[in-house]
Structure 1
Amino acid sequence: MTRDSDPDTRRQQAADWFSRLGAPQVSSDDIRHFFEWRRDPDNARAYERIEALWSSSRRLADDPEIAALTAKTLGHAAPPTRARAVVSDLWKPLAGLACVLVVAGIAGVWALNRPLTYATSVGELRTVQLADGSRVVLDTDSRIRVRLGRDHRTILLDSGQALFVVATDKARPFTVQAGDTRVTALGTRFDVRRLERGARVTLVEGQVAVTAAHDGRDEDWRLAPGQQVVTAAARPAVSSVDANRAISWTTGRLVFEGTPIREAVAEVNRYSTRRIELRAPAIANIPVSGAFDTGDVDGFAAALTDLYGITVRRTDDGGLILDGGRPG
């Protein structure tokens, strides 16, 4: 067996790269050499394991049992409080590779069996760079779980919405599961919104296959760029949409085009803890068009006031109540 094919050598190289890329300053040469090294599928998998172990192990730092085992392994006979402090010290940048391997060795079973979880709070947008080179942009109040294996890449969209920019890897299909809806893609960009029953899938570029349970059987759709399917609909069907408008939220903007005001209000509310309550049935179904910054409830309410003569009242918690109104 050659040195380069030795699994221990790959793990060491992966850990070295993980430490170097986590430094305060990383040169362009280092980044270029890293991607050349990671082009080897075995190297890529070794790096993914190190990254997964690090992320999962950090979440175990406050676990008293893990903390005690870690302290014992490091040769410290310490009470639980001191043990937790020892584990906490492991996360300092100077700890580097040794700390990853110590905790990984102790907590390996936990780390390998737990998916990585990423989430956003209300009004927050977050971009997550996955170990395979793919990128996920999480919308407000969203949560995903990520599993990257030898022969699969699986994302569970538990809630909210996300844009997926998928790195090509024909040996490992990229699948997003949103309830009963499954989206499979290779080298593509698409948006998935988790709904109460099903999901809304919008393809920006590339190609995806969508499968969902409907009326007791699985139905399949294949999307082309600029197409969308809502599996929660009574009769799901592929339709054409403005893909750029559909993902405008990724730039902090909400773009409405002929959207009923009641639906626009619901969408604006997703991005702020200051809620808008619509008490203006006369305008609820009127289509509205325009672009607004996410979280700008005052700007949105002001636009409706100018157009439809509604009355705006503020609640004690900073929310807005929209009353009255006249048809436009």
Structure 2
Amino acid sequence: MTHFVSCIPGDAPNETAAAAWLARAEAGWTPDHETAFQGWLASAPEHREAYERVCASMDFLDAHQDDPELAALRRRTAERTRPWRRGLVAGALAASLAVVIGAVAYQAAPAKLETFETGPAMRRITLDDGSQVTLDARTQLEVRLGRKSRELELVRGQASFDVAHDRARPFAVRLGRQVVVATGTAFNLDQGPDASVVTLVEGAVEVRSAADDKLLARLSPGDQYAARNGQAQVARADPSAALAWRTGKLIFDDASLSEAAERVGRYASRPIRVAPELRDLRVSGAFDAGDQPAFVRAVEAYLPVQATTAPDGAVELRPRPAS
């Protein structure tokens, strides 16, 4: 059963005034009343919105006049209305219902979706809750900030987060098949084609399954959670190395060639494609972000790899022919 409550006069002044105008119109309308009413409507956009809500609520009351809950609400409103204002009972009911419906709609309304995307350059943004986010090149982040939750998804790319503290609204970022949950902390996320990586800089986060909310890991500063090919592990890592991209450096420590090539390719106009048999070769070193040629030269010098240019302009890394 639906339950309704009446508002105390003064709790919703716009709805109360709108109800008074509606009651006056039903009791008798003069040209002076019409002039004053139109002036009230024009004086603030909220007045017209309140009047429309009250009228819609009156239609609802008429359509459900036999509802026992509404009948009880009508009696309570009449008992609390001064005798000289009995003509406002119907309007007060409509105002009450308009406030209730509006409040429920506000509570249930989904949070607005914002999407942030970058090209071959970084971008720094401040979310409405005060959290600071730095987006790497070729990154897409979706954000929904509601009254009771902060839900985000790193669709692709990399981002660092400095989360504004709000224990009542956990900050949850979906990363592939995982969800990273924090209240106020700093961490780095990387979502590539083959791996999801969480590096905690300060504070604490939980990594949970996006499918069933199962706890997968609790991280302390310096911990790194990495999920690849259905396998996940937590290891110690250097947060400064994980964040080096923010100052234009890419640091790899025993990374796979496929992951390193994908990250380097984010800053270039041409992607790097790695032959399947070379994907698991290991790469270590520091490179300037955006200097794709230097990375390709280093790979050719230290690994059994040959770089060629594909018809579409992409850089292709293939096994070096036997000499």
Shorter-chain TM-score: what band?
0.5 to 0.7
User: Structure 1 residues 322, 198: CA separation in 2 closer, same or farther (over 3 Å shift)?
Assistant: closer
Q: 1:148 aligns with which of 145, 148, 155?
A: 145
Contact 2:130 2:164 (8 Å CA) reproduced? yes
SS for the counterpart of 1:151 is coil
Partner residue in 1 for 2:115: 117
The structure whose Rg is larger is 2
SS for the counterpart of 1:116 is strand
Q: Are 1:171 and 2:168 counterparts?
A: yes
Q: Are 1:230 and 2:226 counterparts?
A: yes
Q: Deviations along 1:281-327, whole A, 9 cap, x unmatched?
A: 5x765433211122221111122334357554444554334455489
For 2:276 and 2:151, how far apart are their aligned partners in 1?
A: 44
Partner residue in 2 for 1:296: 291
User: Structure 1 residues 278, 175: CA separation in 2 closer, same or farther (over 3 Å shift)?
Assistant: closer
For 1:285 and 1:232, how far apart are their aligned partners in 2?
A: 12
For 1:159 and 1:225, how far apart are their aligned partners in 2?
A: 24
Contact 1:180 1:198 (8 Å CA) reproduced? no
For 1:322 and 1:162, how far apart are their aligned partners in 2?
A: 27
Q: Are 1:266 and 2:262 counterparts?
A: yes
TM-score by length of 1: 0.56
Matches within 5 A, 1:235-250: 235-250=231-246
For 2:214 and 2:121, how far apart are their aligned partners in 1?
A: 34
Contact 2:262 2:271 (8 Å CA) reproduced? no
Partner residue in 1 for 2:315: 320
SS for the counterpart of 1:193 is strand
Q: CA deviation at 1:194?
A: 3.0
Q: Deviations along 1:86-115, whole A, 9 cap, x unmatched?
A: xxxxxxxxxxxxxxxxxxxxxxx9x98532
Q: CA deviation at 1:132?
A: 1.8
- Letter of the aligned partner of 2:235 in structure 1? S
Q: Deviations along 1:127-173, whole A, 9 cap, x unmatched?
A: 11112221111122222222222232222223322211111122322
- Letter of the aligned partner of 1:115 in structure 2? L
Q: Are 1:218 and 2:219 counterparts?
A: no
Q: CA deviation at 1:226?
A: 0.9
User: Structure 1 residues 141, 152: CA separation in 2 closer, same or farther (over 3 Å shift)?
Assistant: same
Q: Are 1:192 and 2:184 counterparts?
A: no
SS for the counterpart of 1:132 is coil
Q: CA deviation at 1:211?
A: 0.6
SS for the counterpart of 1:167 is coil
For 1:156 and 1:277, how far apart are their aligned partners in 2?
A: 26
Contact 1:252 1:293 (8 Å CA) reproduced? yes
TM-score by length of 2: 0.57
SS for the counterpart of 1:236 is strand
Q: Deviations along 1:62-81, whole A, 9 cap, x unmatched?
A: xxxxxxxxxxx9xxxxxxxx
For 2:283 and 2:245, how far apart are their aligned partners in 1?
A: 17
How many pairs were matched up? 221
* Aligned-residue RMSD, C-alpha: 3.7
SS for the counterpart of 1:200 is strand
Structure 1 residue runs of 5 or longer lacking an equivalent are: 1-5, 9-72, 74-108
Q: CA deviation at 1:278?
A: 4.0
Matches within 5 A, 1:25-40: none
Contact 1:154 1:176 (8 Å CA) reproduced? yes
Partner residue in 2 for 1:83: none
Structure 2 residue runs of 5 or longer lacking an equivalent are: 1-10, 14-47, 49-105
SS for the counterpart of 1:160 is strand
Identity rate of aligned residues, in percent? 36
Contact 1:190 1:202 (8 Å CA) reproduced? yes
- Letter of the aligned partner of 1:292 in structure 2? F
Q: Deviations along 1:174-216, whole A, 9 cap, x unmatched?
A: 22123442211122111122356883221111111111157x7
SS for the counterpart of 1:222 is strand
- Letter of the aligned partner of 2:144 in structure 1? R
For 1:280 and 1:272, how far apart are their aligned partners in 2?
A: 21
- Letter of the aligned partner of 1:264 in structure 2? A
